[in-house]
Structure 1
């Protein structure tokens, strides 16, 4: 038998059924709450209290409670939305995209590269049109509009931003702050409205120096008295990536073993998400150690910038500009290309391909092969690095 309005205030403690899963819960202390009983998407029976019963502000009358219960039934039947999720979304309906992004991104950056937080901040600045939208109202049209302004200008960066938007919205769904498909997903969604970022980014490789001219570059750098020149020299001798050599720390160097251990979080290549990033051990040649020992220990970094008040590493463009001042059009990454070509053409040593790839901290082989191949080939790599050092910077 359905309830009537006069019973709402007079019924004794207990659970009193109305219709369509709506119940009035009366507690011993007199509190009266509306509840909705239903069979969830997992097949289990559940009950959810959703409002206080009454006619005052902030309370729901019998007719209003019936309307709300009807909305829960329709959402469950038509869209498969659990009423508990729907209620949480309604309770947090004012949470904006920017608020949820700022509340979570720092936790996602823990254990990653020091610049990861800045990358997330830049991504948020790139999509201002999403900032004030609530999590539930964002759809594919909103995401497309936000990304199309930067997709052709900087496709790789735009795709990373898309991935971060997707992660934010996935997290919101897990936290029951939104429902439905992710409007930022690529497969079966944005793939049909945007050209692949990789296709848009097809271009020539990083500017490199013909390896025959590498000794001339080192000679020019030797005449440059600045710290950044020393940083570039050691970067060339170790064929390290720009971010790795810029962030080199004194604690990572073992002068007795003549090695430099780059922590996994600084490496470009990471292992699977469930595993920790792998460290990379770099053999140091006599030439590299001699340059490193000329650097004063001013703090954490071996090559701190001399253009900042605080102890900080150089910015990426500082190394490229140093090479340009030496009269060469190349990047640090391009120098790695020079090394790889030198190693491939070197008939005297006939280096194995795997040795050269390991020197560059590249993955070699498929997943099965890597699972059995645990050696870091440090002895073979030392031979290759010493030969490279003697080529680009012959001993006095």
Structure 2
């Protein structure tokens, strides 16, 4: 074991010749000089008379070097080494950095962040109205309560708190918010954006226990116009020549959904055969493992109406000509027509266009009719009529509404398409809707408010 030399001063160190020299003060501490300058210090550790290790200490001040050398020597004497301790400290720092990064990531990985990523990723696979409904559910009902919380920290109780206030008062909105939350958590788990292993937004689990005691009122159907008043409504509608009114008229005549009419393109129609083939993406119901019927037959009046509409672009009904030929009506366009007609009628009779059998739970007043409700008007009318073959007429009505069930089981055997029956029912409905009404009396309607001289090539 080397002898501990008398500690040299800085002046004495500077006076030493080039080479390696003992510094003194700490056993094994040496200084290296070259060209009259100190190039560094080293600690040489001896055990059993043999040099076991050496540590480069750098070029700190002499007092700092002696302290560092003493600390390193103590580590050697304890059975470890400075290198091992430095490696351990480095690993600990790296672990702390990873943990800090994870905490920062978790802080960024909020429910709102995951929800926006999910909605954006799947926006192209759903209709615009459904995508809009998701955003409303997120921004209005979920984001204010759980949006800013890291998704890892959200509990079943948090979700229950977000939904409980609307669970009974706004059951439709609550259902949409719940569905979105359920989908977002499933997405986050699948994409490993969370450490959660089970979905907390699941009514089959603890969430159901918390929400089930909250009594929900029965679901209300869309308000519909009693079919006995359909002709009076159409007379009012004919006094409103606009693209939105024309779309509503066509929807009533064909028993179609809002999106099917708004997004209809000329290429979908075979007017010679009186056939309308609706693309899947324009419909509410998507195919799930089986091919659904998407063909509707058209009455003579529906065909004649389409033939009198100018073709100024791919869409049958456009928002406004100055907004471009490819701009469809908004999902509220036909509803706004009904609202306007309702207010005019209400000013006349104090009622407006209402469904007397549908009551607003908040106000106790009858609810205003809706676009979708005309499908119920049609279906109720079919049930109320006497048909040569009543059961076939009912099945034809379901086919006109595109309600018929075809799945892998039934679709394999039920191949009768009811086209002849559909034509009979569709034509009878159109005749009933326009009974006593001559469209030629409504020249503004025939012109459909389009200026053909401005039609674009």
TM-score by length of 2: 0.62
1: distance between equivalents of 2:241 and 2:138? 40
Q: Structure 1 residue 159: deviation in Å? A: 1.4
Match of 1:390 among 426, 431, 435: 431
Change (3 A) 1:192 1:306: same
Does 2:80 align with 1:6?
Answer: yes
Task: Give 2:385's aligned residue.
Answer: 346
Q: Does 1:157 align with 2:173?
A: yes
Matched residue, 1:331: 370
The answer on 1:55 being equivalent to 2:90 is: yes
| Conserved? CA contact 1:89–1:136, under 8 Å | no
CA contact (8 A) 1:264 1:279 kept: no
Match for residue 186 of structure 1?
203
Counterpart Cα distance in 1 of 2:413 and 2:266:
32
The residue aligned with 1:224 is 240
Tell which deviates more after alignment, 168-177 or 194-203: 194-203
Count of matched residue positions in the alignment of Structure 1 and Structure 2: 329
SS of the residue corresponding to residue 427 of structure 2 reads helix
Distance in 2 (CA, whole Å) between partners of 1:87 and 1:174 is 24
1:140, 1:184 within 8 Å by CA — same for their partners in 2?
yes
Structure 1: how far apart are the matches of 2:129 and 2:100? 38
**Change in CA separation of 1:290 and 1:365 when aligned onto 2, cut-off 3 Å:** closer
Residue in structure 1 matched with residue 121 of structure 2 by the alignment: 107
Match of 2:414 among 362, 367, 373: 373
Aligned-partner SS, 1:343: helix
Rg comparison, structure with higher value: 2
- Per the TM alignment, residue 133 of structure 1 is displaced from its structure 2 partner at its CA by 1.0
Report which stretch shifted further, 219-228 or 383-392: 219-228
* Structure-2 change in CA distance of 1:338 and 1:10 (3 Å): closer
Deviation at 1:184, TM superposition (A): 0.7
Residues 258 and 331, structure 2, Cα contact 8 Å, conserved in 1 = no
* Structure 1 residues 261-294: Cα deviation after superposition (integer angstroms, max 9, x where no partner): 222223223333xx37746111122211222233
Q: Could you tell me which of 301, 305, 315 is aligned with 1:287?
A: 301
Aligned position for 2:68: none
- What TM-score, normalized by structure 1, do the two folds share? 0.71
Aligned 8 A contact 1:237 1:388 in 2: yes
Name the counterpart of 1:302: 316
Shift of residue 377, structure 1, vs aligned partner:
2.7
* Cα distance change, pair 300–307 in 1 and its aligned pair in 2 (3 A): closer
User: Paired residue for 2:61?
Assistant: none
* CA root-mean-square deviation: 3.6
Contact 2:167 2:216 in 1 (8 A): no
Q: Does 1:93 align with 2:109?
A: no
Contact 1:301 1:313 in 2 (8 A): no
Aligned residue runs from structure 1 range 228-267, under 5 A: 228-267=244-283
4+ runs deviating over 6 angstroms: 86-91
Conserved? CA contact 1:304–1:314, under 8 Å: no
